């Protein structure tokens, strides 16, 4: 299963990206020059997503006349990891920790995520209390041994683990980030007494201070490990059985390609991989068009997410939360201490279910109809009204079906579902109920996106929105109107945009080490050795021993002594042989002043952690340019659609038939195989030289 970067000898000229979502699996095939050879969108098979993905790959290859042996490489994103945490469908997991710290997962930061909600639900740990075990041992904060590991106590855990049928063990000791010897010793003892399942150590997963976040991340990694390993092994076997022998990678939450072996060891890095892929596609377009401020917006069948892209680079986060109890409330989820693109879930997807809440108001999501049975309009037995049903009733979706008519839609079923659940309880007609669903979704997304942008010090009106996802193009213009944004760009093959982003992902690996010490106390030879260790680790993660083709960037988490939080400070690479303290002090002062507007003259800077990133060569990008013109399949066709309560006959255009740079006035419905773009009245639209569908809200500037 292990395939290094050097092993990617071309067995053909084609590259394939496939993103398995909760509702659809998106696939894009590129030729040797980076041109889009073909794209496909197939329903996800929830009972066996690996087999469904391989069937989709084979169908696309057959349609385009490409043999499996002609694939040079593949890259993959999946919802397998995040769904496991949300559904709590992972294996029985145990946690071994330092004596006195058994309840760290429940204590957390001893803060309520909503001070005024008397019914607030705390985050349930992935490991129940009866499977959390204490071991007598203690390391000092500098990593020296205060109390050796109680070997006999660890040995006594073996029958307990067997009694509870524990499948995987996480080990997180108090100062394990500083010295992993005790965690390694516990693993070795468990192996000696016969425990055969995965054993995940915090010093290998998240070697950083703050024991709660480190424990949470380590437990999540352990919880995901068997399921992801089994999924990857099955997917790899199915592809080989189908004649696909090309090397393949997975994309990480921080937007880099991971080797299969790295993904098996650290599945926690895959939690936000699908959202990261779509942001990479938007970032590539932003770089090519020179757009300084972009909101990358991806709305699929299950969720909608967004991220800020500045000067072609996504804003990154060092931690995030998954499986939140309260959708938009920080602290209500499982904290993950790992690098990721700074994503926000800003609303529902096409399959999100609408209902009347206890106040008699329309609410949408967060639960989804998925792909089976799916929205009522899919005709597969779904009875709940969804966003897709509303869009069909409003005239935005083609009643002739999705995917060029291959996926029929049932208008009567959509009408019946919305009437029963929304229209009748509110004593309104089904059309008004559908409009209410659409409006609630857009307003929810706009409010979340506005807060996300403002919290980072920006004005939403200065942004452009770059859109992908099957449902994104239908909602993007309405979202822009609510945010005061003028420019919307719907990327080529927007319905499978995340798969396009996969193919633009560079090979990236990241490592961190916490070493809390005052800047003027740093022992620089030890730091140099620490950095060299991270460098060797990252080259292994990238699957290469040749550092010449790898770009490294170094940074440090710093703060003034006595502060509780730190800031990211860039550090020169390679680390200078002399003058390191002065250089880092000046860099910290500049970064602190830029963020807070002042420095602390009497403060003593200290270093919390060191971080190193290794970035391999960026793959050839997916070429976006206007394709050959085709005559509109239904020239002159119009469809009855509803805009802000006003029904009107709206021209239906085929995207492939739009003449580049020819501006036209809305309203219009621009159809392509994987999605439909909605252009509201008063807007204008055109296709640019790169194949992007541009929508200018409010007409010409």
At 634, the pLDDT band (50, 70, 90 cuts) reads: very low
Q: Pick the residue with more confidence: 24 or 186? A: 186
- Neighbouring residues of 575: CB distance < 8 A, sequence distance ≥ 6: 524, 527, 528, 531, 554
Q: Which residues pair with 139 in a beta bridge?
A: 145
Peptide bond into 574 cis (omega under 30): yes
Q: Quick one: which H or E segment has residue 14?
A: strand 14-20
pLDDT of residue 1: 38
Residue 421 bridge partners (DSSP): none
Torsion region of 108: left, alpha or beta (phi above 0 gives left; psi -120 to 50 gives alpha): left
Which segment of 30-39, 324-333, 357-366 scores lowest on mean pLDDT?
A: 324-333
CA 581 to centroid of chain Cα atoms: 37
Determine, yes or no, domain membership for 46: no
Domain containing 581 equals: 508-615
DSSP label of 178 = T
Q: How many CB atoms lie within 10 A of CB 147?
A: 13
Helices and strands (H, E) in the chain, number of each type: 17, 35
- Which of 580, 615, 650 lies at the terminal end of a domain, its last residue? 615
What is the structure's pLDDT at 198?
95
CA 401 to chain centre: 29
Backbone angles phi, psi at 344, to 5 degrees: -130, 135
Same domain, yes or no: 97 and 208? yes
- 424-449 in b/e form (b: 16+ CB < 10 A) is eeeeeebbebbbbbbbbbbebbbebb
Read off the pLDDT of residues 389-400 as tens digits, 9 standing for 90 and up.
999 999 998 888
In this structure, the answer to whether residues 99 and 216 fall within a common structural domain is yes
Q: Give phi and psi for 147, each to the nearest 5.
A: -135, 125
Check whether residue 92 and residue 214 sit in a common domain: yes
Beta strand 138-139 pairing with 145-147: antiparallel
Q: Is 143 left (phi over 0), alpha (psi -120 to 50) or beta?
A: left
Cα Rg, the chain, nearest whole Å = 26
CATH code for the domain of 543: 3.30.1490
* Residues 614 and 550 sit within 8 Å (Cβ to Cβ): yes
Does some domain include residue 183? yes
What percent of the chain stands above pLDDT 70?
Answer: 94
Q: What is the average per-residue pLDDT within 375-382?
A: 84
Q: Are residues 93 and 207 in the same domain?
A: yes
In this structure, the answer to whether residues 427 and 559 fall within a common structural domain is no
Largest CA distance in the chain: 82
95-109 average pLDDT score: 93
In a shared domain, residues 513 and 431: no
* pLDDT, mean over the chain: 88
Q: What is the pLDDT of residue 621?
A: 59
Q: Which of 27, 34, 33, 16 is nearest to 70 (CA)?
A: 16
Residue keyed to tokens 């699929």: 300
Whether residue 430 contacts residue 393, with contact meaning beta carbons closer than 8 Å, is answered with yes
pLDDT at 630 over 60: no
551: how many CB neighbours lie within 10 A of its CB?
14
β-strands 293-299, 464-468 pairing: parallel
* Residue 128 binned pLDDT confidence (cut-offs 50, 70, 90): very high
Residue 535 CA to residue 612 CA, distance in Å, equals 7
- Mean pLDDT across the stretch 305-332? 86
* Band of pLDDT at residue 627, cut at 50, 70 and 90: very low
| pLDDT for the residue numbered 620 | 60
- 651 within a domain of the structure (yes/no): no
Instruction: Tell me whether residue 45 is in a domain.
Output: no
Structure tokens at 451: 């807060």
Q: Which of 51, 28, 52 is nearest to 39 (CA)?
A: 28
Q: Which position has the token pair 């008519």?
A: 405
pLDDT of 295: 96
In a domain, 452, yes or no: no
Q: What is the pLDDT of residue 86?
A: 78
Number of structural domains, the chain? 3
| Count of other CB atoms within 10 angstroms of residue 152 | 9
Q: How far apart are CA 37 and CA 494, in angstroms?
A: 15
Contact predicate 441/387, CB 8 Å: yes
Quick check: is 152 in a domain?
Answer: yes
pLDDT tens digits along 414-463:
899 999 988 888 888 898 999 999 999 999 899 989 988 998 889 999 99
Query: What is the rounded CA–CA span in Å between residue 249 and residue 234?
Result: 14
| Banded pLDDT at 663 (limits 50, 70, 90) | very high
Of 229, 220, 215, whose CA–CA distance to 262 is shortest? Answer: 229
* CATH number, domain containing residue 123: 3.40.1360
Of the candidates 135, 78, 72, the one whose C-alpha atom is nearest the C-alpha of residue 102 is 135
| Residue bearing the bigger pLDDT, 569 or 374 | 569
- Give the end of a domain, one of 615, 633, 657: 615
**C-alpha distances in angstroms, 665 versus 486, 677, 692?**
15, 14, 17
Q: What is the mean pLDDT of residues 185-213?
A: 95
The DSSP annotation for 651-689 comes to: EEEEGGGPPBT--EESPEEEE-SS-EEEE-TT-EEEE-T
- The pLDDT of residue 99 is 95
In a domain, 171, yes or no: yes
CA-to-CA separations, 375 to 56, 255, 395, 415, 470, in angstroms, rounded: 21, 31, 16, 11, 14
H or E stretch at 155: helix 151-163
Domain membership of residue 12 (yes or no) is no
Q: Whole-angstrom Cα distance, residue 302 to residue 319?
A: 23
Average of per-residue pLDDT across 17-26? 86
Predicted TM-score (pTM) of the model is: 0.86
- Write out the two tokens for 138: 């203690």
Give the pLDDT confidence of 227-268 residue by residue, as tens digits.
Answer: 999 999 999 999 999 999 999 999 999 988 888 998 999 999
Q: What is the pLDDT of residue 9?
A: 36
Which residues sit opposite 517 in a β-bridge?
607
pLDDT over threshold 80, residue 302: no
Going by pLDDT thresholds of 50, 70 and 90, the confidence category of residue 602 is: confident
Name 467's bridge partners. 297, 490
CA atoms within 13 A on the CB side of 110: 2
Q: Are residues 431 and 535 in the same domain?
A: no
pLDDT tens digits along 474-487: 999 999 999 999 99
Of 204, 228, 252, the one marking the end of a domain is: 228
């Amino acid at each position: 299963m292990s395939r290094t970067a050097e092993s990617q000898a071309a067995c053909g000229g084609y590259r394939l990206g496939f993103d398995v979502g909760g509702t659809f699996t998106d696939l894009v095939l590129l030729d040797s020059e980076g041109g889009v050879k073909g794209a496909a969108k197939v329903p996800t098979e929830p009972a066996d997503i690996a087999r469904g993905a391989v069937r989709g790959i084979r169908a696309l290859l057959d349609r385009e006349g490409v043999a499996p042996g002609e694939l040079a490489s593949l890259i993959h994103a999946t919802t397998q990891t995040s769904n496991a945490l949300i559904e709590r469908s992972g294996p029985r997991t145990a946690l071994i920790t330092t004596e006195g710290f058994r309840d760290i997962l429940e204590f957390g930061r001893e803060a309520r995520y909503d001070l005024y909600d008397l019914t607030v639900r705390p985050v349930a740990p992935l490991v129940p209390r009866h499977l959390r075990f204490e071991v007598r041992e203690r390391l000092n904060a500098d990593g020296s041994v205060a109390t050796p590991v109680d070997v006999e106590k660890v040995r006594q855990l073996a029958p307990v683990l067997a009694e509870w049928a524990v499948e995987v063990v996480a080990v997180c000791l108090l100062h394990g980030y500083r010295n992993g010897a005790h965690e390694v010793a516990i693993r070795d003892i468990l192996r000696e007494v016969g425990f055969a399942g995965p054993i995940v150590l915090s010093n290998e997963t998240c070697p950083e201070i703050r024991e709660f976040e480190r424990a949470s991340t380590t437990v999540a990694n352990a919880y995901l490990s068997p399921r992801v390993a089994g999924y990857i092994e099955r997917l790899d076997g199915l592809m080989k059985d189908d004649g696909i022998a090309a090397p393949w990678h997975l994309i990480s939450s921080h937007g880099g390609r991971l080797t299969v072996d790295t993904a098996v060891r650290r599945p926690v890095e895959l939690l936000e991989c699908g959202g990261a892929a779509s942001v990479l596609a938007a970032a590539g377009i932003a770089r090519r068009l020179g757009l300084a401020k972009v909101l990358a917006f991806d709305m699929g069948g299950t969720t909608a997410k967004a991220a800020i892209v500045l000067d072609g680079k996504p804003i990154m986060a060092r931690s995030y939360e998954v499986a939140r109890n309260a959708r938009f409330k920080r602290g209500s989820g499982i904290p993950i201490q790992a690098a990721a693109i700074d994503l926000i879930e800003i609303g529902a997807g096409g399959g999100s279910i609408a209902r009347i809440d206890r106040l008699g108001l329309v609410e949408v999501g967060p639960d989804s109809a998925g792909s089976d049975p799916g929205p009522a309009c899919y005709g597969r037995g779904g009875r709940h009204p969804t966003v897709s049903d509303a869009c069909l009733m409003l005239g935005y979706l083609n009643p002739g079906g999705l995917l060029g008519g291959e996926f029929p839609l049932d208008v009567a079923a959509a009408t019946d579902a919305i009437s029963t659940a929304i229209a009748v309880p509110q004593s309104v007609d089904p059309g008004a109920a559908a409009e209410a669903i659409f409006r609630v979704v857009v307003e929810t997304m706009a409010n979340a996106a506005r807060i996300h942008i403002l919290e980072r010090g920006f004005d939403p009106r200065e942004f452009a929105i770059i859109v992908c996802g099957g449902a994104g193009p239908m909602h993007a213009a309405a979202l822009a109107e609510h945010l005061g944004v003028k420019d919307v760009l719907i990327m080529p093959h927007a319905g499978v945009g995340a798969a396009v982003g996969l193919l633009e992902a560079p090979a990236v690996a990241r490592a961190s080490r916490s070493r809390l010490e005052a800047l003027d106390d740093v022992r620089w030879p030890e730091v140099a050795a620490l950095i060299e260790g991270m460098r060797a680790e990252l080259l292994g993660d990238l699957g290469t021993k040749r550092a010449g083709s790898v770009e490294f960037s170094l940074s440090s988490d710093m703060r003034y002594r006595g502060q509780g939080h730190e800031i990211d400070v860039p550090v020169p690479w390679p680390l200078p042989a002399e003058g390191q303290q002065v250089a880092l002090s000046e860099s910290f002062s500049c970064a602190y002043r830029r963020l807070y507007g002042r420095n602390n003259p009497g403060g003593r800077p200290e270093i919390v952690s060191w971080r190193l990133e290794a970035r391999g060569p960026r793959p050839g990008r997916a070429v976006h340019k206007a394709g050959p013109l085709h005559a509109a399949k239904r020239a002159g066709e119009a469809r009855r659609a509803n805009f802000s309560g006003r029904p009107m006959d709206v021209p239906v255009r085929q995207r492939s038939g739009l003449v580049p740079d020819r501006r036209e006035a809305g309203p219009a419905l621009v159809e392509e195989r994987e999605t439909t773009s909605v252009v509201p009245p008063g807007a204008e639209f055109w296709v640019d030289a790169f194949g992007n569908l541009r929508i200018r809200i409010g007409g010409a500037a």
